[in-house]
Amino acid sequence: MKLTYIIPIVLLIATSSCKKFLEVEPRASISDEATITDKTSAETAVRGVYNAARNYYSISFQSIAYLSGDNVQWTGSQSQIQEFINHKVSPENSTIDSVWRGAYVSINRANNVLSKVPAVTDPLLTDVLKNQYLGEAYFIRALNYFDLARIWGGVPLITRSTLSANDNRGIARSSQEATYAQVLADLEAAEPLLQETTDRFRATRKTVWALKARFYLYQKNWAKAEEYATKLIGDNAAYQLLKPYNAFYFPADKRGTNESIFEFFYSTNETNGHRNQWQPQQNGGTRQWAPNDAFVALVNNPLIGGTRSALVALDNQNRWYGTLYYRSPATDPTYVFRIAEQYLIRAEARAQLNNTAGAITDLNAVRDRAGLTGTTAATVPEVLLAIENERRLEFAFEAHRWFDLVRTGRAAAVLNITDQTKLLLPIPIAQLQLDNALVQNPGY
């Protein structure tokens, strides 16, 4: 596994704005040995951690998550994209290689912060700032490993900074359980270091709670999932379900709304390439990703989609396209955590804990925001299926559907995947060729 890491020097912007913190333009590179020596370089390094994560989140990671589901069709000609829809992904697939490399770049930058910030003696780098930078690095590393674990299962656990391309060769893959354990360890480390403040563009203690709620849902620790989702749902001053559905992303100046817990910020200097994949030619895009017929029928049914029908529109050739990513220039955020997810996490956890009434209350909160009446589901199996269907529509073009069907064991029934080895993706061939210690997933 070849890991070559450099921290970008970015334009420093003298402002306390969290948006400006991330609105940066790469200009040059210097070696890791010289990156963090004072407050300014520490802040620059933390920017680098965020930049690396948002780079692989902008297109590659998200495309795995929903192209592998059942809402999206590929209208282009690149066969490697169709591989996700057909669930026949090749180890040579460039998208999976992009995600693997992107996640490990972000991890290494986080490792660099964690290794060097504690030793900096600049009086401007106060203990409060040190804790914040370290907490942010732990959080982003946790997010990286969480994503790696749910795509590939166990992966090599790299927790020290890489100084040369050969440093991480020969490290075998850990188990999926050990990888998830690393996620939890990083979240536990981040939580006390971060302040309990609201920031929709940088990690805080509340952001940690959002990932913990999702983490425990995947682990089927229903009580913990409910506990952490409740922390955020109860913070009504900071987080709210906005009406109508598209109020969290429309009009174009809407970013960082009360719907959002954490989103990756893009700017005119560093745009989100997602937009061009979705928009039709009349809007300067390629429309290579488009809602499929089944999803269009569901979302346009007023009894099912409600106001979520705003997610689709017709172009001048009478073809449906997605509207979540539409800004020009392409500064659309990537939504990592929204409060709607926390409601549906808690609904699922409560249903699993046989608190059917509580589950229905949370489910209906999301339905009400979409302009729908209350669910008719009554039994636990009915409520769980209703939650699954609600998540399909609520997060249609976000990074959830494939992972939801895998974690609940529903991929076989919904997607007709009979080969269980296809629930994990292949290790990229480029990584296997570079490191003999890596072993391919079964079935590839």
Helix-strand-coil percent breakdown of the chain, rounded to 5? Answer: 50, 5, 40
Q: Helix (H, G, I), strand (E, B), or coil: what is residue 315?
A: coil
If you average pLDDT over residues 199-221, what whole number do you get? Answer: 98
- Measured over the CA atoms of residue 393, residue 330, residue 76 and residue 98, the dihedral's sign is negative
Q: Helix (H, G, I), strand (E, B), or coil: what is residue 411?
A: helix
Q: Give the tokens for residue 262.
A: 């954490």
Task: Write the single-letter amino acid at 38.
Answer: D
Q: Is the residue at 132 inside a domain?
A: yes
Beta strands in 43-184 (DSSP E): 72-74
Percent of the chain with pLDDT over 90: 86
Q: Give residue-wise pLDDT tens across range 94-136.
A: 999 999 999 999 999 999 999 999 999 999 999 999 999 999 9
Q: Give residue-wise pLDDT tens across range 369-416.
A: 999 999 999 999 999 999 999 999 999 999 999 999 999 999 999 999
Q: Please report, in angstroms and rounded to a whole number, the separation of the first and last CA atoms in the chain.
A: 18
Q: Is 442 left (phi over 0), alpha (psi -120 to 50) or beta?
A: beta
Question: In the chain, what's the furthest Cα-to-Cα distance?
Answer: 62
Q: How many domains does the chain have?
A: 1
Q: Is the residue at 56 inside a domain?
A: yes
Cα gap 242→251, rounded to integer Å: 13
Residue ranges in 153-259 assigned as alpha helix (H):
176-193, 205-218, 222-233
Q: Is the residue at 233 inside a domain?
A: no
Q: Is the residue at 179 inside a domain?
A: yes
Q: For residue 33, give the CATH number of its domain.
A: 1.25.40.390
Q: Is the residue at 180 inside a domain?
A: yes
Residue 234 has pLDDT above 60, yes or no: yes
Q: Give the tokens for residue 342.
A: 């926390």
Q: Is the residue at 210 inside a domain?
A: no
Q: Give residue-wise pLDDT tens across range 248-274.
A: 999 998 899 999 999 999 999 899 989
Residue 29 has pLDDT above 50, yes or no: no
Q: Is the residue at 443 inside a domain?
A: no
Residue 162 has pLDDT above 90, yes or no: no
Report pTM: 0.92
Q: Give the tokens for residue 189.
A: 């480390």
Output the pLDDT for position 35.
76
Place of tokens 């805080």: 204
Output the pLDDT for position 225.
98
CB 87 within 8 A of CB 119: no
Output the pLDDT for position 76.
85
* CB crowding 397-419: b at 16 or more within 10 Å, else e: bbbbbbbbbbebeebeeebebee
Place of tokens 């180890």: 91
More confident site: 81 or 149: 149
Q: Is the residue at 267 inside a domain?
A: no
Alpha carbon separation from 434 to 27, 101, 108, 311, 364 (Å, rounded): 29, 13, 18, 42, 50
Structural domain harbouring 106: 1-194+418-435
Residue 12 has pLDDT above 50, yes or no: no
Beta strands in 56-167 (DSSP E): 72-74
* CB crowding 421-441: b at 16 or more within 10 Å, else e: ebbbbbbbbbbbeebeebeeb
Torsion of CA 25, 31, 37, 38, to 10 degrees: 0
